[in-house]
Amino acid sequence: MARRRRGRDIHGWIVLDKPLGMSSTQALGKVRRLLDAAKAGHGGTLDPLASGVLPIALGEATKCVSYAFDGRKRYEFTLRWGQETATDDAEGEIVAESPHRPDRGEILAVLARFTGIIEQRPPAYSAIRIGGRRAYDLARAGQAPEMAARKVHIHDLSLVACPDGDHARFSVDCGKGTYIRSLGRDIARALGTCGHLRALRRVRVGPFSLDDAISLEKLETLCHMSAADECILPLQTALADIPALAVNEAEAGRLRHGQPVGTHYRTNETVCVLQGERPVAIARVEAGSIRPVRVFNI
């Protein structure tokens, strides 16, 4: 006898305002249980010490995760001057200290160094794989690896406030792969002091922002009222940055079976194929053909 499939077939996105103290995996599990979803996933992990936008893909939306998280992200973060930690955030032990506390003018003077394409060394306590092992596992075992520098794109970096001599708040708009902990550490070093991340909040990921987000408490309340599905955004929300291409029913059927269909478009690009309002596939338009890349079974 075939095993009964667990959960409901739900397709779309819940944009969670992840609370502090909860891992992204724990948040995903909570949302999946509340909605009784058969399938769910997330990308763009937030550490337990970070809060904010965590888009959770439901059902066939899991096929869009890489597209959703390839876009720009915006964070608000607070640096604590005078102390550098092993993890570059408030969780690690202090490894260096400095008496220097930069003033507003000094901070503003260095920000231009951290905009555009810059080189950045990821934290030793990160999920990057080194020789098949996670960097944070090596670091916890006392074998902190030498992290190779990588290029990242900082689109915008601004000083928001200096609430006291020990802290400064910033806003940053950045590309994929940027570590805000590393950015904070490097800003402090450029100012001739030490520093670590004291607070981090993600306010946007690609097309998803805090305006779309819902707290776990509110989601739980709506589930009790059988109204939670009203908060689910359409699957194609994650594909807002790529062109949409309409097809008819016969063409949609061929694409769903992995077969290309002809088109008068001649530009080579990735598109979101729709039949009316129904998503059909992520596809490539090449040489007058629409070729499916990821097909949605909806």
Catalytic residues: 47
Structure tokens at 51: 């809060």
Phi, psi angles (nearest 5°) of residue 139: -65, -40
| Secondary structure element (H or E) that encloses residue 110, with its range | helix 104-110
CA distances from 216 to 7, 11, 35, 132 (A): 19, 19, 11, 35
Residue 272: closest CA among 281, 260, 263: 281
Let me know: does 52 contact 203? Beta carbons within 8 Å.
Answer: yes
Please give the radius of gyration of the chain, using alpha carbons only, rounded to the nearest integer.
22
Task: Say which amino acid occupies 96.
Answer: A
